[in-house]
Amino acid sequence: MKYAEIAEVLGIAVGTVKSRMFAAVNALRAILEGIPMNCDSARTEIIAYLKNELEPGKRKRLEDHLAKCPDCRKELEQARRLLTWTEAASDEAVVAKVEEIFQNAMLANASDIHFESQRDDTLARASSRGRRDARGRRLDSAQRVGVLARLRCWLTLNVADTSLPQDGRIKWTFRNKE
């Protein structure tokens, strides 16, 4: 129904119809925003929230819900991690670095790639029959996060994720199936 038709039926001015509609919509919004968010609707907003895409009203309602709901806070942390990993994994420099590491390993006929955490950076070394490439490829801490994220996405099914702390070092070994 158009505003003009409503105005005619009610015998009031079009401007009055518009302003009453506006007031009604605002009242409805206030009521809806006053209703506490439930977990289902909170969870559908989490990604938008993390990407800063929520309008202030929804943002506030979600934050109120999160403050009271440990389950949704857990969900939020998982989503945050996932988002960080996905962003890091699709970074161009990271993609190039992973290719470099794998090409290096394939050229060396390697069966494994070892990621050795050192003081400030990580050394990716290919190894064949237990002998490790002496030089390896160096990753700084930012690259490391991205490269590991990429590897995780890429090798999800092939990864033998053994995190063995050794003398303060952590060794990641990924079995290279190729």
Among candidates 123, 131, 73, 68, which has minimal Cα distance to 101?
123
**Shortest gap between Cβ of 63 and Zn ion (angstroms)?**
12
Contact 77, 132 (CB under 8 A): no
69 binds Zn ion (CB under 5 A): yes
For the CB of residue 72, give the shortest distance to Zn ion in the complex, in Å: 3
- Residues pairing with 138 in the sheet: 123
Half-sphere exposure for 146 (CA within 13 Å, toward CB): 18
- Could you say whether residue 23 binds Zn ion (CB under 5 A)? no
By the rule CB under 5 A, 36 interacts with Zn ion: no
Instruction: Determine if 9 is a binding residue for Zn ion (CB under 5 A).
Output: no
Interface region with Zn ion, contact rule CB under 5 A, candidates 54-62, 70-78, 125-133, 150-158 = 70-78
- 146 is written with which tokens? 């991205």
**Single residue of 9, 39, 106, 142 touching Zn ion by CB under 5 A:** 39
Alpha carbon distance 91, 30 (integer Å): 42
Query: Given the rule CB under 5 A, which residues bind Zn ion?
Result: 39, 42, 69, 72
